[in-house]
Chains A and B, each alone.
Chain A
């Protein structure tokens, strides 16, 4: 009003107002009004994320998105948590694994993007991924990639030693013992200390360690399911039928490549990851469904996968939501993650897409490995809950498993110690533990 100095609208302003009105009727409400330049910062560790953000910027020209890689795994979350604690320095959005969503919700750091467009795309996602990010109508992240589980194994080693592809975990144990006897120094697999893998494999077995309702938390870490699982692996470790080297080292990767390890119970992001990093074992890998606890069972699990979560400190919640929705649901972008990066999709449309899932990989002897993982995606039970302090739980799993592997007590003892430590921690953090 100040600009026209009390005179009525001049011609130019009148035309501008008319154009704006036209735009408002042409576009959904609320969009046209927010056209001032907006800057969004995103923390993500996946490669080429900025390329995909650029596509978002083509569609939303008033938004500038900067992708920053602050590290992967612990360093990423430590920085996020420090920024939450400090009350400053948070990005607008961050890539966040499914198992960290409850922890950041417990810190009241995540924004509910349900009403801003989150709920509108609900049906596009595989059910378990949606339950992992939502709480009724509240939505705390956009599922982005997942890790449905299956078994990758070396056809050449299996053939050489007459091993059969295990359908059940009993078969798996049998083959493990058989291989270790037939070829000492070669193992069916490695039991490394990996809390993410442990939770995922126990998820399949029916382990449901946490149930959080508000400030009440039920903790059942050392239940019978966990103990049976612990005894199962303890037997294999004691029989030296599996190796117990640390996971995720370059030596560990090399051991898969050079035939020291003949199989890996792993997730949907692994096939492309392995294809990118292994040379010697080219063409020898195959996929088969995850071993079952019951013969003929059809239960898989999920390991890893991530979301885009929006922080409630962002001044641009709508744009941040638009970005998260775009990255997760734009068909071209979603497809790109699977073909060019190693991310396994979360969209029903892509999981059911025969050309995408039916891609035959030479690294896997021409097998369409994704079909195995796509089938597993539908066999993930959505009822699994992570703790609102999952990083602490993970550190306890790792410390205590490490002790057991180092020969101090058994894995079953480790579960008892983890239960005690986590209960004490939950009480100390003010939860009512039941």
Chain B
């Protein structure tokens, strides 16, 4: 059945329409070329906005431009400097700690919400689905400004509430709290997104499995944990990899909260923040490009390591 919806070459459409109108079938593009013609719009954008800029950035990373002396080719010198740059690795280490707090909380919340929604025990299911997803539709900039206000140390609503109850005001921007405060923002932003992915995967599980499980005497909980969960493991792996990538590229949230938490967020707080400062404050575009590629490599290593781990676990 699925074949009917597989790739249909342009030629056949033409053949049909032309035959109907009594003309000779015309071949505009051959079957072999057709997929590439259809992919062309994507390929153009992909090359123009990803491959070319990446090539340009890689080119940049092999040079060094100084205020005095201009530009010269330095080969891998920028990379040699980057791999031993403590400011870069401090940022990576911070994000590892951040990820270890943020990812388990966010993904388990997403999973729990998805399982509840999928269980069919909830009324107004689509309302909840949309409202959980809504924060993802709020741009990160707005979300951060919003949370920045909520966290306000003297006049934020939380602080006001604490004052009204004569409790000590919580300091969301203290050195010990800042990771949690940032993690909370990203959890709020992305839980709904992950929940939708899980929910879609759960919906794809055939209903007869549930029937079979019930016949065997499984409770709803057992069915969820023993049948549904194992079936969406591949999806969970995918979301973890997305989260690893997203975490290691964290930028907007700490950048926007800097003004409120200057004493805990510095200009190399995360690797992307560091790359931004290098390029746009210190005018070290070349070194910034090298740092960016090194970050790309770190992301690849972390993602690959997790995949190896997941595959081993699966066997």
A102 → B minimal CB distance (Å)? 11
Question: Are A246 and B263 closer than 8 Å at their CB atoms?
Answer: yes
Question: Are B154 and A254 closer than 8 Å at their CB atoms?
Answer: yes
B171 → A minimal CB distance (Å)? 11
B125 → A minimal CB distance (Å)? 40
A184 → B minimal CB distance (Å)? 14
B71 → A minimal CB distance (Å)? 11
Question: Are B277 and A255 closer than 8 Å at their CB atoms?
Answer: no
Taking CB atoms, residues of chain B closer than 8 Å to A193 are 262-263
Question: Are B262 and A402 closer than 8 Å at their CB atoms?
Answer: yes
Question: Are A85 and B266 closer than 8 Å at their CB atoms?
Answer: no
Q: How far is the CA of A107 from the CA of B154 in the complex (A)?
A: 43
Give the contact stretch, choosing among A225-233, A367-375, A384-392: A384-392
Q: What residue in chain A is nearest B268 (Cβ atoms)?
A: A399
At the interface, yes or no: B175 with Cβ under 8 Å from chain A? Answer: yes
Question: Are A107 and B67 closer than 8 Å at their CB atoms?
Answer: yes
Taking CB atoms, residues of chain A closer than 8 Å to B232 are none
Determine which residue in B67, B69, B152, B281 has the highest number of CB atoms from chain A within 10 A of its CB, and name it.
Answer: B67
Question: Are A251 and B154 closer than 8 Å at their CB atoms?
Answer: yes
Q: What residue in chain A is nearest B152 (Cβ atoms)?
A: A251
Partner of A399, one of B68, B69, B266: B266
Question: Are A430 and B262 closer than 8 Å at their CB atoms?
Answer: no
Question: Are A249 and B281 closer than 8 Å at their CB atoms?
Answer: no
Q: List chain B positions with a Cβ less than 8 A from chain A.
A: 66-69, 152-155, 175, 259-268, 277, 280-285
Taking CB atoms, residues of chain B closer than 8 Å to A388 are 67
Taking CB atoms, residues of chain B closer than 8 Å to A392 are 281-283
Q: How far is the CA of A406 from the CA of B263 in the complex (A)?
A: 6
Q: What residue in chain A is nearest B284 (Cβ atoms)?
A: A428
Q: How far is the CA of A81 from the CA of B285 in the complex (A)?
A: 11
Question: Are A398 and B264 closer than 8 Å at their CB atoms?
Answer: no
Question: Are A430 and B152 closer than 8 Å at their CB atoms?
Answer: no
A 419-434 to B, binary, CB cutoff 8 A, 1 in contact else 0: 0000001001111000
B308 → A minimal CB distance (Å)? 37
Taking CB atoms, residues of chain B closer than 8 Å to A235 are none
Q: What residue in chain B is nearest A432 (Cβ atoms)?
A: B68
At the interface, yes or no: A82 with Cβ under 8 Å from chain B? Answer: yes
Question: Are B262 and A398 closer than 8 Å at their CB atoms?
Answer: yes
Q: How far is the CA of A250 from the CA of B151 in the complex (A)?
A: 13
Question: Are A402 and B67 closer than 8 Å at their CB atoms?
Answer: no
At the interface, yes or no: A345 with Cβ under 8 Å from chain B? Answer: no
Question: Are A429 and B68 closer than 8 Å at their CB atoms?
Answer: yes
Taking CB atoms, residues of chain B closer than 8 Å to A249 are 259-260
